[in-house]
Amino acid sequence: MDDLIGASNPNSESFREANARLRAQSEEAARLAEAALNDARDVTVLIVDDQDLVRNGFRLIISSYDHVKVVGEADNGIAAYDRAMELHPDVVLMDIRMPLEDGISATRKIVAEPSLSGTRVLVLTTFDVDEYVYDALQAGASGFMLKDSEPDDIVRAIRTVADGNALIQPSITRRLIETFVDSRARDAHAAVELSVLTDREREILRMVARGMSNEQIAEELVISPATVKTHVARIMGKLDAHDRAQLVVIAYERGLVAPGC
């Protein structure tokens, strides 16, 4: 629009030229957006639940959306790991309470498997404040969804974790962690020393644990979102964290953030 400043006369040559440039840029942006949509790769999903009805329901929901594809199913944790090794899905929708092996153990195995580094686990739960969900986040799940969530929310969550982002719902996640962190022995990350972090990294980790997005952190610290993203990646590397969800758990368990603060 700056090109049109001072050229308010639509009959002037400079106005026509600037308007033509803006139109061309708009058309190019629309073309690129359409091409990106057409070229979007399918997000592959493995559904894990011991109830046939639940698995069928999620398959029907997911299959009705473009670029999201169910590639397999499993009805227990052992089968979940085996199918993940076979299919290498982008996302595993993981139930927690299952026979033979539960979803927590299966999540831990999937996250620890080097050949499945591109696979993310999204936990399915009936209750948002659930001790087993907390265990699943400790095990490396990228987030959790209520089984009765709206279809759009479920598919949005799948795409979010497939893109490598943790599904963090700040109020629910904080409430979940604060409910259980004080009642647990803090062994899961006992070897993790926050002293490896710089002062800035500790500050950013504290903000992540409070549910702030990169954009909110950037605004608070007067730095760019890209800089925040770089800091978060370095923090994950230093703390051997799988994703943002694990950072939240670590921050609470190591006492960087206290429940209720």
Of 37-41, 84-88, 144-148, 181-185, which has the strongest mean pLDDT? 84-88
Confidence of residue 140 (pLDDT cuts 50, 70, 90): confident
Per domain, the residue ranges of the chain are 2-39, 43-167, 190-253
124-150 average pLDDT score? 77
**Virtual CA dihedral for 152, 156, 157, 163, nearest 10 degrees?**
170
CATH number at 43-167:
3.40.50.2300
pLDDT at 9 over 60: no
Judged by DSSP in three states, 71 sits in strand
Tell me how far apart the alpha carbons of residues 90 and 121 are, in angstroms, rounded to a whole number.
9
Residue type at position 155: V
CB 120 within 8 A of CB 99: no
The yes-or-no verdict on residue 129 having pLDDT over 80 is no
Are 49 and 99 contacting, i.e. CB atoms less than 8 angstroms apart? no
Tell me if 116 sits within 8 A of 85, measured CB to CB.
yes
Rounded distance between C-alpha atoms, residue 222 and residue 80, angstroms:
44
Report the alpha-carbon distance of residue 86 to residue 80 in Å, rounded. Answer: 10
State pLDDT tens for residues 157-207: 898 888 876 665 555 566 666 666 655 555 444 445 788 889 999 999 988
Q: What CATH code is assigned to 190-253?
A: 1.10.10.10
Whether pTM exceeds 0.85: no
